[in-house]
Amino acid sequence: MSRKNPYTGYKIRMEKMLIQSEELGDKALFLACDQGFEHVADFTLPEAANPDYIMAIAEKAKIPLILHKGTYIRYADRHPNVPMVLKINGKTELFYDNRAPQGGMDCTVQEAVGICPSLVAVGYSLYIGGQKETEQITELAEVVREARNFQIPIIVWAYVRQHNPRLKAEEGKWENVRYAARIAFENGADIVKLYYPENKEGLQKVKEYAPGMFCVIAGGAKANTIEIAFNSAYEIVHVLDGMAIGRNIFQDPKPINKALGYRAIFEGKSVQEAIDIYNQEKIEVL
Amino acid sequence: MSRKNPYTGYKIRMEKMLIQSEELGDKALFLACDQGFEHVADFTLPEAANPDYIMAIAEKAKIPLILHKGTYIRYADRHPNVPMVLKINGKTELFYDNRAPQGGMDCTVQEAVGICPSLVAVGYSLYIGGQKETEQITELAEVVREARNFQIPIIVWAYVRQHNPRLKAEEGKWENVRYAARIAFENGADIVKLYYPENKEGLQKVKEYAPGMFCVIAGGAKANTIEIAFNSAYEIVHVLDGMAIGRNIFQDPKPINKALGYRAIFEGKSVQEAIDIYNQEKIEVL
Amino acid sequence: MSRKNPYTGYKIRMEKMLIQSEELGDKALFLACDQGFEHVADFTLPEAANPDYIMAIAEKAKIPLILHKGTYIRYADRHPNVPMVLKINGKTELFYDNRAPQGGMDCTVQEAVGICPSLVAVGYSLYIGGQKETEQITELAEVVREARNFQIPIIVWAYVRQHNPRLKAEEGKWENVRYAARIAFENGADIVKLYYPENKEGLQKVKEYAPGMFCVIAGGAKANTIEIAFNSAYEIVHVLDGMAIGRNIFQDPKPINKALGYRAIFEGKSVQEAIDIYNQEKIEVL
Amino acid sequence: MSRKNPYTGYKIRMEKMLIQSEELGDKALFLACDQGFEHVADFTLPEAANPDYIMAIAEKAKIPLILHKGTYIRYADRHPNVPMVLKINGKTELFYDNRAPQGGMDCTVQEAVGICPSLVAVGYSLYIGGQKETEQITELAEVVREARNFQIPIIVWAYVRQHNPRLKAEEGKWENVRYAARIAFENGADIVKLYYPENKEGLQKVKEYAPGMFCVIAGGAKANTIEIAFNSAYEIVHVLDGMAIGRNIFQDPKPINKALGYRAIFEGKSVQEAIDIYNQEKIEVL
Amino acid sequence: MSRKNPYTGYKIRMEKMLIQSEELGDKALFLACDQGFEHVADFTLPEAANPDYIMAIAEKAKIPLILHKGTYIRYADRHPNVPMVLKINGKTELFYDNRAPQGGMDCTVQEAVGICPSLVAVGYSLYIGGQKETEQITELAEVVREARNFQIPIIVWAYVRQHNPRLKAEEGKWENVRYAARIAFENGADIVKLYYPENKEGLQKVKEYAPGMFCVIAGGAKANTIEIAFNSAYEIVHVLDGMAIGRNIFQDPKPINKALGYRAIFEGKSVQEAIDIYNQEKIEVL
């Protein structure tokens, strides 16, 4: 109960989204499922194309799920309590360089809050340095205002990006990831999702430049082993605030064990404890 | 998953609100806490004035709670998962006859959906036959449209009422309760809350005239004993669709046991089974 | 096909609503079911309280049905092809004189056209001479504009009426019915529903004063016999344009036979032919 | 009757659009007539340029017709009961590469619902990977919101496409058809119309990646014989959900027989049964 | 710094408004100056009619000032750092019973935030039980929504009141003060200003029924002596949350000393300490 903060809707959504750990404080772990939209609908593990499969992982691992509205409206009635982050813009990977980097607005905050009773945040992809950066900053500001009004936290996917040619080498440089974090911070994001800034020093640099906001890192380089994956997560979450993981979870043969392993690390456990959780008997998804 | 119904937000909220019973089908049981607004803030049991106490009952008995927004915003962060029905109009009992019966609109659907992440419905009081009936029907229609757009079910408190003089004898007649039910039905309510229509025959009459909508009865005459209370509930729920109970639960010395007793009846159990639940060791509220 | 009129939606709805008879030209016959809202939810024949029963009569007799939106949304999926007229305002009969005669706006044209795929018209009750006449004329004009935009025909229930005291003797005088018809006509109604203007001469007077619009008469005095009912209909439809009949159909023990008898008269048949239709084996409703 | 779903308009329109088959479940078969707009107004069979001819085929074969509003408003009064899908954007084939692929919005949902009393859906063409993909995704989202509000199902024509140069070889690849299906799904389409994804394995791939939505395939390669056409339809409808067929029906010398043959397959009949229907005496169109 | 609450404007204003005391927690002390509007512009001490005089008191005593916008815009440039509460509705005392109790809206929240750089809250008078209660509850809800949007705390003056006849004896009864507090609470007020609820037991009753909101009491009975005034304040602030004091400060010959005495009590000091402060050399106002 707070007599000094009437924005309870925001507070409740934020708390539903975060993992509160005694050792580490507030951390954020997301299951990301925008593959179908953003990444050529390419699912190595065919089960992962089934939204029921994805939602069941989030449900059983008790972590929020990131997805687009169309997926939500067809499947969420079987998973009504999973905290949901609706991405409200998106673009495909086809013929990449024939247009400026900017997702279409496939949903509004108002629409999201009506459609999705378990909504905890909305997500917006911002391409910093892109040919439409100007339009995107204006558009993001409109999203932020609408989201504040509806008391919905905002997650910004902040990527340094230009098209034609795409300068991929630039995108992951720690200077650029740090810049992206700062831009999200200065534009009012509550949480920012970033590329992995090269290494541990990069993580530290990001932290210094965006101290007042949750910084969440993408699943990271495709991990060859569980050890590598969990070590990377441990490193990230002991400097920054969390991760949004997609393929590294839902294309794993034991996805719920994997997610619970990550979760343990976010709650302050060691890498070895996470590995032990992973090595337990497989938790069935469906 | 439904390919033929994209209004998933509505479906999820409706299902969170209802008790699905194999024997009885869908039933509705609410804990009502609008005493503070509508009924001179008179709480016989002092604990009941504390919203924490009320919310904890709803939480532990797993039943939706009816309240106004101000109460919600100060206390709900400690009870974030209780399904909530926000009443969006209300009036006091002071100097009753100096104005026409019509509650002020203390909230909108859009506001409610932002404030309250666990919102399952909005509630509107309609005074049929009142001096402001015309204005209320128009106002209710606006609420219904807004609620459909946000996929929020609508509960209408439908009471026959006029002021100056108040004709109390008219209000509970089964013909009038039946008429009130039908008016709510014709105006698009999803659920209607009604006075107790005198007796079992009255319940049956209401059912015949408002067959396509959930009919919920007020807590009924102050019950002298648990047996009377549960017998009355049994009778109601075997003809109509549910109850909204306030004082009969939260002013009971064992409010959670009482609520669970009611719940058992709504799930198809016998009165004796409900009494047994009540007579178990007291479940502490706070 | 018309190269000179692009308002095809209007034309199609109008034609679905009307009975085209070679002998009599265009005539209008409606089954009216707003009892539940306007007339104390009093159904002499209990089956008539069931919207399924009413809709099945309209369906099998192939006549449009007049009702309010709430009834439509719960039952129409089982009767999707019945042409529907949604009444968009209404009031109850309770404590009649404590307020001015004016229905609340329980629906808009835009809402009606979305809700109701088989919509052929909207209906509006106008109380001429009432204490809210001024507001109602303005409100009706807004309805007409919105309906024109959506190409939905408008039926005006035009009654001379004041409250406190109600002057019932005035309401059915042919001078007043004629005035009501003219007011609907001058305000742009496509069809007007009127009280029975006393007698055949009254019908003729109405015709003279509102020639450019369909004039439809209420079901008339409760008819003691089929002969009286059909003779009255014959007289009406050979002077004016149609009837809206409620209780005289749905509270008849053979409601579909009755409706088909009326229909025959509207198609130019004799009263005796209508009686023969009525006397055939009962067509079951459900 | 449903107490748990008030969005009856949507349900009724969806059910009017679909073929319910006991063996196959819900299937969708459309007669597509947007040749005049999209394909240089090229009708091999001259009668097919006459909208009366096309509408009569849909009417007698009892299948929904896809067309643009202008065609509708001039001819539909003679075919008022044909379920209609209005395409609300479109583009010509002229000077193809001088502009980005994006149809102009020649109609709105609100306009469509007013114009067209037998409207069952609206259609929108989305060019995935096109230079205007961003704008189209935003535009489609606006259409979806408006359509949900009016309870009108949305069909998305989802094609992989870029201009200057057009990469025709890309458009029909099953990976791309599958991606297109997924994009329509993630953006909230109720039905998606797709290119034929190469072969039966392609159909299966599409099904896996867009399981929560009706997938409808274009008429397919110009079929040399009835056997080939019906075999292809049989294959499609036993994996996916339907077809939208234009020239293969309306340029056939026995178009209604052809349409009824398709319909039989969609209702679960064998190819041979469909051929038998085709081989019956020709059903005249006009 | 809070990563979990972006509504910083609200937080800053709330903290500027409150006195944070280690012993007592957050307390609220206001200098109220709406005499000129609400109370026949009757200032016993002529200097008190001068807004400069009033503002200087607030400035030197470091307490927020309550006033109407017109007063603010003419004088505040000389006192730019005084935290201001703008009352946004008001009414006169003239011909009291010729109209229902409801203040005119002399300002909006948006206007207030533009006019007044040191704005910490807006104030709204609500007359519970009044003939315009319905309209006021709706109006207050609009103010609350606007204020939340602008992140301005809302203070509700909640008085039980009806006119013609005014029932003065009812207004100060502790049951009614308690009811008024609860109504403000249920309607979302951040702070409520109340009449003095008779006695210490009344204060306690109020606290029990509106625990989640700051309850501030009017200056109380005209105090004959400093001791009585400070004793009363001590009692109030040790049960409830603060006071809004007008005449008891600005008509005192040593108004700043008086205000500082009150302030001391609100910071946890004893009555004697407050008296000592009062008895120090007079602090000049202008």
Residues C86/B118, Cβ–Cβ less than 8 Å: no
Mapping DSSP onto H, E and C, the string for C165-230 reads CCCHHHHCCHHHHHHHHHHHHHCCCCEEEECCCCCHHHHHHHHHHCCCCEEEEECCCCCCCHHHHH
Residue E6: both structure tokens together: 């972006």
pLDDT in tens, C190-238: 999 999 999 999 999 999 999 889 999 997 656 789 999 999 999 999 9
| Cis before E80? omega within 30 | no
Residues forming beta bridges with residue B191, ordered by sequence position:
B155, B214
**Contacts with E6 from chain A: Cβ below 8 Å:** 10, 148, 188, 190
Q: How does residue A63 score in pLDDT terms, banded at 50, 70 and 90?
A: very high
CB-nearest partner of A115 from B9, B75, B116? B9
Report the residue of chain B nearest A114, measured CA to CA: B150
Between CA B255 and CA B44 the distance in angstroms is 13
- Min Cα–Cα distance to chain E from B20, Å: 31
* pLDDT confidence of residue D139: 98
Helix locations, D187-253, DSSP H: 200-209, 226-239, 247-250
Bridge partners of B134?
none
Helix (H) or strand (E) segment spanning residue B14: helix B8-17
Q: Give per-residue pLDDT as tens, C43-83.
A: 878 899 999 999 999 999 999 999 999 999 999 999 999 99
Distance of CA D195 to the CA centre of its chain: 11
Q: What is the mean pLDDT of residues A51-56?
A: 97
Task: For chain C, give the mean pLDDT.
Answer: 95
What single-letter DSSP state applies at residue E244?
E
B149 chain-A contacts, CB cut-off 8 A: 114
Distance, first Cα to last Cα, chain E = 38
Using CA atoms, how far apart are residues D217 and B111, in angstroms rounded to an integer? 43
User: Is residue C49 within 8 Å of residue C43, measured between CB atoms?
Assistant: yes
A3, A73, A151: residue with CB nearest B8: A73
Q: Which position has the token pair 């024939």?
A: A98
Query: Which residues from chain B sit within 8 angstroms of residue A6, using beta carbons?
Result: 73-74
Asked if residue E219 lies in contact with residue E247, where contact means CB atoms within 8 angstroms, the answer is yes
Backbone angles phi, psi at B102, to 5 degrees: -170, 125
Q: Is A29 exposed, middle or buried (0-12, 13-18, 19+ CB in 10 A)?
A: buried
Does A124 have pLDDT greater than 70?
yes
Contact E3 A149 (CB under 8 A): no
Identify the pLDDT of residue B33.
93
B94: chain E residues, CB-CB within 8 Å:
128-129, 133, 160, 162, 176, 179
Based on DSSP, count helices (H) and strands (E) in chain A, helices before strands. Answer: 13, 11
- Chains A–E, number of C-beta pairs less than 8 Å apart: 43
E45 secondary structure, DSSP code: S
Higher pLDDT, B242 or D40: B242
- In eight-state DSSP terms, residue A112 is H
Q: How far apart are the C-alpha atoms of C187 and C145, rounded to whole Å?
A: 11
* Residue B154: closest CA among B163, B146, B164: B146
Burial of E205 (0-12, 13-18, 19+ CB in 10 A): buried
**How far is residue E9's CA from residue A202's CA, in Å, rounded to a whole number?**
33
> Which chains neighbour C (Cβ–Cβ under 8 Å, 3 or more pairs)?
B, D
Q: Which two tokens stand for residue A87?
A: 């991405």
Cβ contact B69–E187 (<8 Å): yes
How far does CA A217 lie from the centroid of its chain?
8
Judged by CB atoms closer than 8 Å, whether chains meet at D137 and A91 is answered as yes
Report pLDDT digits (tens) over E103-150: 999 999 999 999 999 999 999 999 999 999 999 999 999 999 999 999
Q: Shortest Cα distance from B142 to chain D (angstroms)?
A: 14
The 3-state DSSP class for residue D191 equals strand
Contact criterion met (CB < 8 Å) for D74 and C8: yes
Q: Mind listing the pLDDT tens digit for each residue in B45-60? A: 889 999 999 999 999 9
How far does CA E166 lie from the centroid of its chain? 23
Q: Is the dihedral angle over the CA atoms D218, D262, A74, D34 positive or is it negative?
A: positive
CA nearest to A113 within chain B: B113
Contact D30, D245 (CB under 8 A): yes
* Chains B and C touch each other (3 or more Cβ pairs < 8 A): yes
Q: Give me the helix-helix angle, B200-209 and B174-186, nearest 10°.
A: 30
Mean pLDDT lowest for which of A193-197, A255-259, E2-6, E105-109? E2-6
Query: Which chain A residue lies closest to E150 (C-alpha atoms)?
Result: A149
Mutate to test the interface with D, among B7, B122, B146, B186 (most CBs of D within 10 A): B7
Q: How close are the terminal C-alpha atoms of chain B, in Å?
A: 39
Closest chain B residue to A73, measured at CA: B8
Question: pLDDT of C75-124, one tens digit each?
Answer: 999 999 999 999 999 999 999 999 999 999 999 999 999 999 999 999 99
**Whole-number pLDDT of residue D272:** 98
> Which tokens go with D115?
């114009």
Chain E residue numbers with beta carbons less than 8 Å from the beta carbon of A6 are 10, 148, 188, 190
CA–CA distance from A229 to each of A25, A35, B260 (Å)? 22, 20, 47
C interface with D, Cβ–Cβ below 8 Å? 1-3, 6, 8-9, 11-13, 15-16, 52, 72-78, 80, 110, 113-120, 149-152
Report the candidate in D259, D261, D256 with the shortest Cα–Cα distance to residue D244.
D259
Q: Which of B43, B74, B104 sits opposite E133 (nearest CB)?
A: B104
For chain E, which residues lie within 8 Å of any Cβ of chain A, measuring from their own Cβ?
Answer: 1, 3-7, 10-11, 14-15, 26, 148-149, 188, 190, 211-214
CA distances from residue E7 to A216, B76, C241, E189 in whole angstroms, order as listed = 22, 18, 64, 17
- A69 contacts in D (CB within 8 Å)? 186-188
Tens digits of residue pLDDT in C11-33: 999 999 999 988 999 999 999 99
Q: Which residues of D touch B14 (CB under 8 A)?
A: 4
C-alpha distances (whole Å) from E102 to each of A278, E143, E160 are: 66, 15, 12
Name the band, by pLDDT with cuts 50, 70 and 90, for residue E219: confident
* Interchain pair A75, B1: CB under 8 A: yes
pLDDT exceeds cutoff 70 at B1: no
**How many residues in total does chain A contain?**
286
Nearest-angstrom CA–CA distance, D48 and A60: 57
The 10s digit of each residue's pLDDT in B66-120 is 999 999 999 999 999 999 999 999 999 999 999 999 999 999 999 999 999 999 9
Residue-wise pLDDT tens digits, A196-247: 999 999 999 999 999 889 999 998 656 789 999 999 999 999 999 999 999 9
Distance between first and last Cα of chain A:
39
Q: Are strands A25-32 and A19-21 parallel, antiparallel or unpaired?
A: antiparallel
Strand partners, D20: D26
From D144, which residue of chain B is nearest by alpha-carbon distance?
B6
Closest Cα of chain A to B208: distance in Å?
A: 31
Q: Inform me whether the pLDDT recorded for E222 exceeds 90.
A: no
pLDDT of residue B92: 97
Q: Cis link prior to C255 (omega < 30° from 0)?
A: no
Contacts of C115 in chain D (CB under 8 A): 8-9, 151
Residues 6+ apart with CB under 8 A from D282: D253, D254, D256, D257
Rounded CA-CA distance C84/C107 in Å is 14
Of D6, D190, D212, the CB nearest to B188: D6
For D235, E39, E57, E251, E261, the CA distances from E53, given in Å and listed in that order, are 90, 18, 6, 11, 18
- Three-state DSSP state, C28: strand
| Residue whose C-alpha is closest to residue D256's, from D80, D16, D31 | D31
- Closest Cα partner for A147 from A183, A190, A180? A190
pLDDT tens digits for A84-95? 999 999 999 999
Predicted structure pTM score: 0.97
pLDDT in tens, E40-69: 777 888 889 999 999 999 999 999 999 999
Give the pLDDT confidence of C246-276 residue by residue, as tens digits: 999 999 999 999 999 999 999 999 999 999 9
Which residues make Cβ contacts (< 8 Å) with residue E147, sequence separation at least 6? E109, E122, E153, E154
Task: Determine whether the interchain pair B208/C107 forms a contact, defined as Cβ–Cβ distance below 8 Å.
Answer: no
Q: What is the chain E residue with the closest CA to A189?
A: E6
* Structural contact between residues D12 and D18, judged by C-beta atoms closer than 8 angstroms: no
Instruction: Write the burial class of residue D21 (CB in 10 Å: 0-12 exposed, 13-18 middle, 19+ buried).
Output: middle
How far does chain D reach from its first CA to its final CA, in angstroms?
39
> What pLDDT is recorded for position C224?
80
Neighbours of C28 (CB within 10 A): 24
Residue type, D279: N
Mean pLDDT, consecutive 10-residue segments, chain D of 286 residues? Answer: 92 97 95 89 85 97 97 96 98 94 98 98 98 98 98 98 96 96 97 96 94 88 84 96 95 96 97 98 96
CB within 8 Å: A105 and D137: yes
Report the gap between the CA of E163 and the closest CA in chain B (Å).
Answer: 9
Residue D192's nearest CA partner among D128, D124, D127 is D124
Mean pLDDT of chain B: 95
* C-alpha to C-alpha distance for B215 and B236, rounded to whole angstroms: 10
Q: Is D in contact with B (3 or more beta carbon pairs below 8 Å)?
A: yes
Cβ contact D68:D74 at 8 Å: no
What φ, ψ does residue E261 adopt, rounded to 5°? -65, -50
Report whether E160 contacts E57 (CB < 8 A).
no
